[in-house]
Amino acid sequence: MKRARMMRFLPLALAGLMATACDSGTDPEDVLKDFDAAGIARAIEAAVVPADASLDATWVLNDFVSSMLGGAFGTDRQSRITHTRAAPLESLPGALASFDLRAIALATRVEIPADMLGRTFVRDFDSDSWVLDETRTGAPADGVRVAWYATDSFGEYVLPELGYIDITDQDTATMERLGVLIVRTAGGTVTLADFVYGVSGSDDGVDWSEHGEMVGFFSDGTSQVDVDHQVDASGSSATGDETSSIHLSFTGPEGVYRWNLDGSWDQAAGTYDESLVVSLTRDDAATILDLAFAPDGTATGSLTSRGVTIALISLANQVMDFTRPGGGSFNAEQTSQLETLVLTMVLYGYFALTSTPFVGF
């Protein structure tokens, strides 16, 4: 999967960027000498990458829910696999609006038909469709079991069969929820994911709100990451104003990585303001990136660690500029290290978001 390859290549690419930087500055003060940028990047990777083991399964999950349970999101696997955004920092302003959060929440408001409960579905490669396999047992009584397969470079399913996905109805009085259990059986039985996806909302014709969440864990068989993702949107049908938020949390073996994007749309002014706050907390110490995006796409913010401001940041035309809190510039090597860390903090959450089950572009 492209996301997995991109994420694993990213640290190497950024390390190369650091290695090629030349130190042309004359400031003898090294404010980054005790700042472990590489360690922070590794901890972020460790908190996200275990989910890569479920990528093939989540394609199957999205496809099955879409085609068999009436979900509204697309199933063009090829376009989704090859789709990337070349400039995530540039695309952040207005990113919340592009998600169409109301549609995301509505997409999984589905019911598992009673005649499907307790049954297993497999792929019929001749008809390229999901079919019932009456010979298989073990499906959950309150849901369905789906066989999952590898995918080729074109995004098409291929043998061998890798495992199964159990999808269960876990509705509550206030929220419609689907439980998802992903188990790999090829090479030994391993639970790769166990999470609940839920949606709720209201609309009285004047004000509306939507909430989506995914809570549980992903594993690669060795490391486990606990996830708590919350997506919210609300607005006024009368004014057209909206507020939205995407809050992602990954608790991995080396720390807690949080990626929070909040924004508001002013219908009268036709402008969208966003803020991005990303943090990595390990050993009770937090490193925090805080960026505020203006309607014109420029941004200002700061990078802090252990409560101390390390650098002030400005972003315009995809160029990041770093200045010292007390004034003055960083040398080339220090600037490269800061760029490395900022890109790592932003991109890992961004790529994780774009491949989250039930969330598609």
What would the pLDDT profile of 150-189 be if each residue is shown by its tens digit? Answer: 888 887 889 999 999 999 999 899 888 889 999 999 989 9
pLDDT of residue 263: 87
Closest to 96 measured CA to CA, from 288, 232, 212, 295: 232
DSSP string, 276-340: EEEEEEETTEEEEEEEEE-TTS-EEEEEEETTEEEEEEEEETTEEEEE-TTS-B--HHHHHHHHH
pLDDT of residue 328: 87
Closest to 272 measured CA to CA, from 50, 109, 59, 94: 94
pLDDT of residue 90: 55
- With beta carbons less than 8 A apart as the criterion, state whether 265 and 253 touch: no
Half-sphere exposure of 79 (CA within 13 A, CB side): 6
Residue 179: its H or E element: strand 176-184
The residue type found at 122 is V
User: How many angstroms separate the CA atoms of 136 and 143, rounded?
Assistant: 14
User: How many angstroms separate the CA atoms of 340 and 309, rounded?
Assistant: 17
User: How many angstroms separate the CA atoms of 223 and 84, rounded?
Assistant: 27
- With beta carbons less than 8 A apart as the criterion, state whether 250 and 243 touch: no
Mapping DSSP to helix (H, G, I), strand (E, B) and coil, where does residue 164 land?
strand
Token reading at 10? 């990213």
Please count the other Cβ atoms lying within 10 Å of the Cβ belonging to residue 220: 16
pLDDT beneath 70: ranges in the chain? 1-33, 70-110, 358-361
Count Cβ neighbours within 10 Å for each residue of 291-307 and write b for 16 or more, e otherwise: bebeeebebebbbbbee
Distance of CA 190 to the CA centre of its chain: 23
The residue type found at 53 is A
User: How many angstroms separate the CA atoms of 88 and 276, rounded?
Assistant: 12
Is this structure's pTM higher than 0.85?
Answer: no
pLDDT of residue 333: 84
